[in-house]
Structure 1
Amino acid sequence: MNKSVDIIELDGSPIVIINDIRFQSRRGIDWNKVEKYLKEYIGKYFEITETSEKIYIGSDFPDEFSHSNDTKRLKGANTTSAIGELIQIATEKAQYPDYNNKHGEKAKLGWYRYNTKFGIPVYDADGNLERYNIFSTRMLVRCDADGKLYLYDLVRTKKETSEPHEQ
């Protein structure tokens, strides 16, 4: 997988540590470039270690991820280099209804959510690594008519309130 990303165990839970921060400022993020980068994933799949399920990257993921309200934050942009690893460590699969039949055609066989975690480095004024901020997020996965699981979006990304991970 990606060399700028590590998977570590912290308090018994796997966390993806993203070492290569592509986006330093919220104002400078070109979400169309983020979408273009994510299009390189289309057609690939990654396996969840816990369940051995294959999660495919479909053609709808780059647009949904890049233009959803949940993602339009700096932390969302920086997860793009770790999509495979975030899928790999996903846990706690849960089936969810299609509220108001909003996405009925996209997920003929239902929706699933998985939990996953990642860390983003925080640097001091001199550019030295100070700590990692840890975030949890939910992977929204659709089950298409072909029976395959497709990553649709990352939602409800929240900063962990416990002590940040020290290097």
Structure 2
Amino acid sequence: MKRNVSVIQDADGNNIVMINDIAFKGKRSVEWSDVEKYLRQYVGDIYRIAETEDIIYIGTDLPDEYSGSNYTKHIKGTIAKAKANAAQAIPEMIEIATSKTFEDNKKNKHSRHAKNGWYRYDTRFALPVYDENGDVERYNVFSARILIRHASSGKMYLYDVLKIKKETSKSCQE
């Protein structure tokens, strides 16, 4: 699938990943199996966070976790569609990530894959809103946290995108 994504800056100089196409459409619900299949194209890729220069790997666990996590199972409507379509901008969302925080591993089930704990970063992305003629009316801006697992190998892997929130005070006009 061809990506139509770019990074712009808002009026405050903060980066936003502009996603210019809606790849995962639907009136009712998201087909998470399609999102999972789409995410497989990133497995094996490596990206760098500009702010920290951390190297982030995309492992084989990302597609399943992103599309089937407890967080994903509980989101609906606009937030679910935003997460599904954010899959198109994984590289750029990693690159513009800011505000690194660390958390020790608390769950036994992750003791093997996240032996060195978890990192969270803030990121932002925008999705188009179309009018009745199919023209872009505006962009809705979303904030999110990217969750990175720190493996025993010392490598850092993208694990999920969480806490997606629509920024109600801002929308990007085209």
User: What is the number of equivalent residue pairs in this alignment?
Assistant: 166
Write the mapping of 1:87-102 to structure 2, written as runs, cut at 5 A: 87-102=94-109
| Aligned-residue RMSD, C-alpha | 1.5
| 2:30 is the alignment partner of 1:29 | yes
Deviation at 1:68, TM superposition (A): 1.9
Structure 1 counterpart of 2:141, which letter? I
- Unaligned residue ranges in structure 1 (runs of 5+): none
Aligned to 1:74: 81
Identity of aligned residues (%): 49
Contact 1:26-1:74 within 8 A present in 2 as well: no
Alignment of 1:1-167 (within 5 A): 4-10=4-10, 11-25=12-26, 27=28, 29-71=30-72, 73-167=80-174
Secondary structure in structure 1 of the residue aligned to 2:66: helix
Amino acid corresponding to residue 31 of structure 2 in structure 1: D
- Once the two structures are superposed, residues 34-88 of structure 1 have per-residue CA deviations (whole angstroms, 9 ceiling, x without a partner) of 1111111111111111111110001111100011243351111101111000000
Distance in 2 separating the partners of 1:99 and 1:26 = 38
Partner Cα separation in structure 2 for residue 163 and residue 145 of structure 1: 40
- Does the residue aligned with 2:171 lie in a helix, a strand or coil? coil
**Contact 2:112/2:152, CA 8 A, preserved across alignment:** no
CA contact (8 A) 2:105 2:115 kept: no
Inter-partner Cα distance in structure 2 for 1:38 and 1:100 = 25
The 1:82/1:67 distance shift into structure 2, 3 A limit, reads same
Q: TM-score, normalised by structure 1?
A: 0.93
**C-alpha displacement of 1:104:** 1.8
- Scaled by the length of structure 2, the TM-score of the pair is 0.89
Q: SS at 1:79's partner residue?
A: helix
Whole-angstrom distance in 2 between the partners of 1:127 and 1:110:
45
Q: SS in structure 2 opposite 1:109?
A: coil
Q: What residue identity is the alignment partner of 1:6? A: S
